[in-house]
RNA sequence: UGGGGCGUCGACAAACGGCAAGUCAGGAGACUUUGGAUCUCCCAUCUGGAGGUUCGAAUCCUCCCGCCCCAGCCA
């Protein structure tokens, strides 16, 4: 058993072409070789519970948990909950659900920065004792003024040289709640002339008389990110503290705090955050979409949130594959939404049962088909998976086909049904269109009259004649009615963050990002489709039963369309 | 004009001085009872630019150009 495992491990390390190398994996591999951190690997995923997780977080989750697993290490889940004014339990619960759903497990290593408040307070006291921190009475306005600008150095606070005793006493009184919000801060004493503004005596603690979702009213002072994060990493004995590029400037501060108290020192490594075309991935913007009602909620299937993607029909597997494919690097980039769509198609193609559903029904009467006859046609559930078996689909004289599958004046290369033309009905018969019934007033095509060839049952013609097209269909009297929500990109612009003068990102919201179709007809086998279950509606795309769906009212979300060669041709013709 | 990063195919992204991987997109064809899937082939004589070092440079050096981040008591 052990021998076998060793062999497998050897194999995977040798063929590391299967695991794309990225610079973070490379650093960790080298550290292990150099016996740094006793060759341990312990990463962490540290979300702030102030919003839902999105696909950009998935990149970080896959990286942190993935790399830990790969090197036989651990990854902690830690809530970075140091700002009670923005954080909520709703988010901490949703975040855990999403990480778990993505397929990752933190075992018993669920931590909160707020669990460290007492220890963090002690660290701050130590810093004061060492003369490396001081209580500052500058108002926010004044502090900004003293900070200087990008080009000019800052000036030292007049409170910078208080004695340790005075600082200790003041800091204690801050903790006790003696002072109002904003009246004082605890600051690190570093260098007001530093070119790196983060080093110009950054605030470590601020006064906040706010209720914290975990510590209640116990604290009136809360640590800032830079202070809390490095020490949290240190206390958890994190080896590699992976974060996004905007924290690169904070690394000197991260290092400064840990060195100042000479404690265990993880290393911070930064990578570029994900940008995805046709959507936004900033929490601020996502919150705005939710709160202003541009979408139905965090789990609106158009949202790039994990919960939105889940409701849309994306699988954890497809998202993990996506994160693997996009790679990890330090340069800013914008990943094509098409790649995410490719990943879900790739997954669903292998697993989704095929089914026939008519989204925009057009009535077809097979005039030479017996009035009362109903035949059960055998259909393949998944051509990619023979084990998925077959099913029976009822066929009768009156059917529905897709409106788009008929053209009175078929353009070049349109192979589907047209007057006088013969096509195949999938798993059924060849039919030929003999007549078109139109509305007298509008001229709209209301119904097609067709003739079938009984010799083609099952879809093959004994005389070997070919038809260019195969259409999906449902039997009118057997089909179930369903609502189908056709989702598309939330934004019309590849980069909605690139705003023109006088507009903002919301100006580019796609008005057709949701088109609801109500009188769709689906094959009877879909009765009672489990919410969340995904199907391929043949020739259309992948659809999943929405959580709003029930036995009595079927609702499907379009996850993604199938690749559509005809749509491409048609677009070129226009 | 300060500090920190980054520039390789339309989009991602490898290559760590030895002669530009792979993936998506795109194109051509084969096959096809999904215009799906699958399969085959094509798609950077070139790595932001200019010099230099070297037998040899995307990789090293110099200068230039461009893009991103930082002036919250947010993370």
Q: Which CATH architecture has domain A40-271?
A: 3-Layer(aba) Sandwich (3.40)
Q: Which residue is nearest to nucleotide B23 (CA to C1')?
A: A325
Q: What is the pTM of this model?
A: 0.95
Alpha-carbon dihedral angle through residues A109, A64, A19, A276, given to the nearest 10 degrees:
140
Note the strand B nucleotides within 7 A of protein beta carbons: 1-8, 10-16, 21-27, 33-38, 67-75
pLDDT at A536: 98
The one catalytic residue among A40, A155, A160, A273: A273
What's the DSSP call for residue A218?
S
What is the rounded CA–CA span in Å between residue A88 and residue A224?
A: 18
**Which pLDDT score is estimated for A176?**
98
Q: Is A52 exposed, middle or buried (0-12, 13-18, 19+ CB in 10 A)?
A: buried
Fold of A357-472: Ribosomal Protein L25; Chain P (2.40.240)
Which of the nucleotides lies closest to A384 (Cα–C1')?
A: B37
Report if CB A145 to strand B is under 7 Å. Answer: no
Under DSSP, is residue A545 helix (H, G, I), strand (E, B) or coil? Answer: strand
Residue A505 phi/psi, 5° resolution? -55, -30
Nucleotide B58 C1' to residue A381 CA (A): 50
Measured from the CB, is A339 under 7 Å from any atom of strand B?
Answer: yes
d(CA A40, C1' B44) / Å:
41
Residue A273 annotated as catalytic: yes
Q: Do domains A283-353+483-573 and A357-472 have the same CATH topology?
A: yes
The pLDDT assigned to A392 comes to: 98
The nucleotide closest to A199 (CA, C1' atoms)? B3
Told to judge if A48 belongs to the known catalytic residues of this protein, a careful annotator would answer: yes
Instruction: Convert A319-334 into a string of H (helix), E (strand) and C (coil).
Output: HHHHHHHHCCCCCCCC
The residues, ordered by sequence, that sit 6+ positions from A468 with a Cβ below 8 Å of its Cβ are A415, A423
Which residue is catalytic, options A44, A48, A59, A521?
Answer: A48
The pLDDT value given to residue A408: 96
CATH classification number, A283-353+483-573, choose in 2.40.240.10, 3.20.20.70, 3.30.460.10, 2.60.120.260: 2.40.240.10
Let me know if A416 is a catalytic residue: no
Break chain A into its structural domains and give their ranges: 40-271, 283-353+483-573, 357-472
pLDDT for the residue A97: 98
At residue A6, the pLDDT reads 29
Q: What is the mean pLDDT of each run of 10 residues along chain A (574 residues)?
A: 29 39 94 96 98 98 97 98 97 98 98 98 98 98 97 97 98 98 98 98 98 98 98 98 98 98 98 98 96 97 98 98 97 97 98 98 98 97 96 98 97 96 98 97 97 97 94 98 98 95 93 97 96 98 97 95 96 84
């Amino acid at each position: 058993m052990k021998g076998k495992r060793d062999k497998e491990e050897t194999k995977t390390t040798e063929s590391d072409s299967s695991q794309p190398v990225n610079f973070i994996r490379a650093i960790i591999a080298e550290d292990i070789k150099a016996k740094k951190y006793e060759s341990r690997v312990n990463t962490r995923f540290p979300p702030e519970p102030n919003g839902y997780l999105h696909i950009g977080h998935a990149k970080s989750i896959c990286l942190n948990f993935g790399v830990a697993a790969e090197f036989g290490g651990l990854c902690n889940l830690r809530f970075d909950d140091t700002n009670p004014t923005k954080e909520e339990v709703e988010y901490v619960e949703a975040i855990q659900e999403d990480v778990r759903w993505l397929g990752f497990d933190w075992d018993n290593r669920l931590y909160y920065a707020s669990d460290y408040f007492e220890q963090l307070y002690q660290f701050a006291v130590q810093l004061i004792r060492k003369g490396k921190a001081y209580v500052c009475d500058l108002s926010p306005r004044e502090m900004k003024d003293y900070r200087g600008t990008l080009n000019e150095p800052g000036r030292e606070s007049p409170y910078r040289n208080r004695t340790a005793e005075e600082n200790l006493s003041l800091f204690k009184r801050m903790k006790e709640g003696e002072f109002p919000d904003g009246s004082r801060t605890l600051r690190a004493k570093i260098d007001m002339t530093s070119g790196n503004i983060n080093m110009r005596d950054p605030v470590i603690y601020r006064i906040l008389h706010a209720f914290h979702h975990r510590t209640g009213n116990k604290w009136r002072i809360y640590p800032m990110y830079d202070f809390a994060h490095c020490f949290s990493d240190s206390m958890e004995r994190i080896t590699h503290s992976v974060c996004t590029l905007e924290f690169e400037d904070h690394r000197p501060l991260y290092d400064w705090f840990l060195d100042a108290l000479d404690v265990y020192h993880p290393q911070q490594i930064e990578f570029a955050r994900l940008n995805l075309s046709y959507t936004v991935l900033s929490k601020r913007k996502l919150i705005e979409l939710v709160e202003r009602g541009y979408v139905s909620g965090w789990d609106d299937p158009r949202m790039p949130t994990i919960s939105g993607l889940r409701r849309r029909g994306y699988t954890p597997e497809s998202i993990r594959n996506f994160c693997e494919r996009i790679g990890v690097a330090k340069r800013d980039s914008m990943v094509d939404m098409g790649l995410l769509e490719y990943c879900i198609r790739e997954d669903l193609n292998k697993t989704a049962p095929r089914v026939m559903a008519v989204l925009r029904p057009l009535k077809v009467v097979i005039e030479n088909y017996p009035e009362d006859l109903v035949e059960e046609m055998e259909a393949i559930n998944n051509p990619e998976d023979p084990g998925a078996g077959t099913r029976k689909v009822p066929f009768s004289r009156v059917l529905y086909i897709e409106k788009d599958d008929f053209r009175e004046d078929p353009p070049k290369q349109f192979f589907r049904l047209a007057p006088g033309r013969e096509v195949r009905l999938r798993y059924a018969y060849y039919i030929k269109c003999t007549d078109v019934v139109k509305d007298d007033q509008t001229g709209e095509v209301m119904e097609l009259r067709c003739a079938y060839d009984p010799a083609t049952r099952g879809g093959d013609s004994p005389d070997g004649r070919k038809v260019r097209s195969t259409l999906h269909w449902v039997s009118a009297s057997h089909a179930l009615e369903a609502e189908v929500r056709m989702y598309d990109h939330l934004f019309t612009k590849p980069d909605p963050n690139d705003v023109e003068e006088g507009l903002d990102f919301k100006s580019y919201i796609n008005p057709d990002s949701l088109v609801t179709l109500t009188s769709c007809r689906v094959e009877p086998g879909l009765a009672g489709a489990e919410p969340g279950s995904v199907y391929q509606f043949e020739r259309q795309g992948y659809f999943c039963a929405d959580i709003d769906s029930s036995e009595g009212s079927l609702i499907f979300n379009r996850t993604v369309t199938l690749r559509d060669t005809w749509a491409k041709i048609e677009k070129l013709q226009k």
